[in-house]
């Protein structure tokens, strides 16, 4: 025990406590000592093999899978809806139509989004000049540096910028959309009996659930195979998860969109079962959506 403590694999939370594995100890266990998944994980895999989208809506399926993961592991489960990588804005077309302004956002050869704005009469003469300015800035900088907007285009630029900001907020809200289950089960874990530890996690689930996912969510692998990762304690970039562990895997759809399946709980978790369960759910989603 002393040797393990000297190597940083065990730690003593406080003076009167016994020794428990440290973050480094759990990492060694996951990397080198992880056993084969148990019967529960194998049973889950058999259950999932019979799932189909024929008789259920996709969101209902995600909720069913999230609840099953939470029931099996006693951990918080998260499943994100598949999202395509956000393409770079290539061009903007402004088309006046009476009292309306149609804004076409070109983000790829086959991806165009349209916005329909009210066009004040005083701004109408600015539209063709504003479009030329946008074209030159996208070619020169790849973006829209609004601080460089000429003063005579200020009103039209303000209208367009407000519309683009609103559109971006809407898309960000869609990106945050996730299905979660099992938060109540964490209350039974001794590590989360203190509200000071549980509160930051609850706030993230309610307000910014995507931050519970690790970088795998933002750096998709280019291969068709499942990507997976396990973050332990402070390995995770989100400070609120400094006392937690995250087991995560991605799934892909036929059109290239990517979603995530994750389990979140204390560092003291059944990693083999959690990893196998997350992989099983990601695999079945990829099969159903390919």
Q: What is the pLDDT of residues 42-82, one digit of tens each?
A: 889 888 887 777 656 888 889 999 999 999 999 999 999 88
The Cα 117–Cα 120 span in angstroms is 9
pLDDT of residue 225: 53
Would you place residue 109 in the very low, low, confident or very high pLDDT band (cuts 50, 70, 90)?
low
218 or 164: which carries more pLDDT confidence? 164
How much of the chain, in percent, has pLDDT values that exceed 90? 48
How much of the chain, in percent, has pLDDT values that exceed 70? 89
pLDDT of residue 178: 85
pLDDT of residue 223: 43
pLDDT of residue 106: 86
Instruction: Give whole-number Cα distances, 252 to 77, 141, 149, 223, 282, in Å.
Output: 18, 32, 40, 10, 9
pLDDT of residue 222: 41
Is the pLDDT at 282 greater than 50, yes or no? yes
């Amino acid at each position: 025990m002393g040797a393990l403590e000297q190597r940083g694999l065990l730690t003593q939370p406080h003076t009167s406590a016994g020794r428990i594995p440290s973050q480094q100890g759990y990492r060694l266990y996951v990397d080198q000592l992880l056993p084969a998944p148990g019967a529960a994980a194998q049973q889950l895999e058999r259950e999932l093999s019979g799932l189909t989208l024929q008789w259920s809506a996709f969101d209902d399926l995600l909720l069913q899978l999230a609840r099953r993961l939470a029931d099996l592991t006693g951990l918080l489960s998260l499943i994100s809806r598949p999202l395509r990588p956000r393409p770079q804005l290539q061009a903007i077309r402004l088309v006046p139509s009476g009292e309306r302004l149609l804004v076409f956002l070109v983000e790829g050869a086959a991806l165009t989004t349209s916005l329909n704005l009210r066009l004040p009469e005083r701004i109408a003469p600015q539209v063709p000049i504003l479009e030329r300015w946008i074209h030159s800035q996208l070619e020169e900088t790849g973006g829209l540096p609004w601080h460089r907007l000429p003063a005579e285009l200020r009103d039209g630029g303000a209208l367009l910028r407000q519309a683009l900001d609103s559109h971006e907020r809407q898309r960000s809200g869609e990106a945050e959309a996730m299905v979660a289950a099992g938060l109540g089960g964490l209350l039974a874990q001794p590590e989360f009996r203190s509200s000071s530890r549980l509160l930051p996690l609850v706030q993230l689930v309610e307000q910014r659930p995507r931050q519970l996912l690790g970088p795998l969510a933002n750096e998709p692998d280019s291969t068709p195979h499942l990507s997976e990762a396990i973050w332990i304690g402070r390995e995770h970039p989100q400070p609120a998860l400094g006392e937690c562990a995250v087991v995560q895997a991605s799934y892909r759809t036929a059109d290239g969109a990517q979603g995530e399946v994750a389990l979140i709980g204390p560092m003291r978790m059944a990693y083999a079962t959690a990893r196998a369960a997350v992989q099983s759910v990601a695999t079945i989603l990829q099969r159903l959506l390919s």
